[in-house]
Amino acid sequence: MPKLDVGGAVLDYDIVGDSGPLVVQLHGLTSSRERDTQLGLNLGRALRGHRVLRYDARGHGHSTGSFNSADYGWDRLAEDLVRVIDHVAPGEQVHGVGPSMGTGTLLHAVTQHPDRFASLTFAIPPTAGKTRVAQADTYLSHAELIEREGREAWVEMGSLSPAPPALADAPKTLPEVDEHLLPTVLRGAAATDIPARKTIVRLDVPTLILAWTGDKSHPLATAKRLNRLIRGSRLVVARTPYGIMAWPGLFAEHVTTAADHKR
């Protein structure tokens, strides 16, 4: 697999497709592109006539990472994203899609470089603002648990929490972050948030928002907030596994429509 040194980390990535507009697909916290595929979150699989770039964020999957928690803030991950698209598709507009941490990363990237994105798809937007405070406390306590009792204890604790209804049929998966690095990654996530409201409302990029119910870590409140702030955005909510099955098709339609509008 090709790799890219972004400073403090070497990112592992792959590209499917030989021609067409570039789609960049990100993943969520403690996940990877392989794990997202297992969870049914490879949203680019229904696309035709596009190149699909997927990469593991720093510290995740097959990418390396540092023990500096600031490197895992969404603003820092957004810098990595821009480095990747500058390397693979210099000067091109790209279509961005990502769940959870991927959404946070895309929001920081597009508010800093709005002209680089032809469309955005935010899947299961994470906690933000007031709900982020409680989530940050959770991440910090989880980091301490891992350091005290190990990753297996943390995974076991997580298995006791009910899954969102839309993930009822999803297979069991494990975090894709090295045990020694995991506390640092979680502390970085605890210290980050989406950009300020005043920067989000200025966005003028075709945006699709995909959310699900019954998940405190990915509350509908954030999805609805983004839907209100980003003019012309569309919100679709999945309440069962069948809802998620529709997401790749909705994403493909969104990307194609945005491309046709641009032409």
One DSSP character per residue, 1-18 reads --EEE-SS-EEEEEEE-S
Residue 20 to residue 252: CA distance in whole angstroms: 13
Both structure tokens of 188: 């970085």
pLDDT band for position 261 (50/70/90)?
A: low
What is the C-alpha separation between 75 and 174, in angstroms, rounded? 26
Residue 168's pLDDT is: 84
- CATH: 3.40.1670.10, 3.40.640.10, 1.10.150.120, 3.40.50.1820. Which one for 3-262? 3.40.50.1820
| Region at 41 (left for phi over 0; alpha for psi -120 to 50; beta for the rest) | alpha
Q: State pLDDT tens for residues 8-54.
A: 999 999 999 888 999 999 999 999 999 999 988 899 999 999 999 99
Residues whose CB is less than 8 angstroms from the CB of residue 84 and which lie 6 or more positions away in sequence, other chains included: 4, 6, 11, 13, 24, 53, 55
* Span 187-211, pLDDT tens digits: 999 999 999 999 999 999 999 999 9
Sign (positive or negative) of CA dihedral 129, 93, 53, 180? negative
Residue 30 backbone dihedrals phi, psi, to 5 degrees: 65, 10
Task: Give yes or no for residue 115 having a pLDDT over 80.
Answer: yes
Q: Which residues pair with 54 in a beta bridge?
A: 14, 25
Helix (H, G, I), strand (E, B) or coil at 114: helix
Q: What digits encode the pLDDT tens for the residues 141-180?
A: 999 999 999 999 999 988 878 888 998 888 888 999 999 9
